[in-house]
Structure 1
Amino acid sequence: MKLSNSATVLLAAVFLTPAYSAPMAMQSRGSMATSTSHSGDGTFYQPALGACGKKNTSHDLIVAVSHAVFDSYPGANPSNPNKNPICGKKLRATYGTKSVVVTVEDRCVGCATGDLDFTSTGFGKLASLDKGRIHAVRWQWV
């Protein structure tokens, strides 16, 4: 089969042009550790033995960060999450005019990158537990 000059040029353009994809929603490795402000949804859970290796209760002011943030934190070791340098790091979460300082002690598998999963005590400092999920929670490392 013989191709015309325009068909040859078109095929060359298709196969020789590099493919570009849309930007990834997740930030690059370590960027959540160094950037100043983040946002996402806030939820709450009943803690027990967390990914950082500590037992906590719903009365503790702790938080689980998304698996993406936890696993990509600089110095994270997937074979031993208890030694992740994010463990024990504090952050200030703000919702509307209310804020709370919480300590990272866990990893949230069901959370999107900027989401936070609080204890009921931590969540209660921001909103009524009846809400269950709050949107546009702003947070930063302290």
Structure 2
Amino acid sequence: GACGGTNVASDFIVALDMQQFDVDSHCGAAITITINGKTAHATIADRCVGCGYNNLDLTEGLYAYFDPSMDGTLFGEW
């Protein structure tokens, strides 16, 4: 990813939208995400080219934590 390093799909990491990522490097920043009453801690490790402002792209492992069916777009807070 844009932050360097090696990540695997099961890591709880995210890619931050380009508008925010490119303003100030957020590499390694810890964030807390809450979706449908479930909370997880994740690390910003990449930038998301296709994401809208204030949106995140989750790894498969993090997405599956919030929605085991892995179906559709998730809405939450971070």
Q: CA deviation digits over 1:26-56, x for unaligned, max 9?
A: xxxxxxxxxxxxxxxxxxxxxxxx0001121
Q: Structure 1 length as normaliser, TM-score?
A: 0.52
Alignment RMSD (CA, Å): 1.2
Contact 1:99/1:125, CA 8 A, preserved across alignment: no
8 Å Cα contact 1:120-1:129 kept in structure 2: no
Q: Which runs of 5+ in 1 are unaligned?
A: 1-49, 74-83
Q: Following superposition, which runs of at least 4 residues in structure 1 exceed 6 angstroms of deviation?
A: none
Question: Whose relative contact order is higher, 1 or 2, with alpha carbons under 8 Å and at least 6 apart?
Answer: 2
Q: Is the 8 A contact 2:64 2:70 kept in 1?
A: no
Contact 2:33–2:39 (CA<8 Å) still a contact in 1? yes
Equivalent pairs, count: 78
Q: Which amino acid aligns with 1:138?
A: E
Structure with max Cα Rg:
1
Q: Indicate conservation of the 8 Å contact 1:60/1:121, yes or no.
A: yes
Q: CA deviation at 1:130?
A: 2.9
**Higher share in helix:** 1
TM-score (norm 2): 0.90
Of all paired residues, the percent bearing the same amino acid is 35
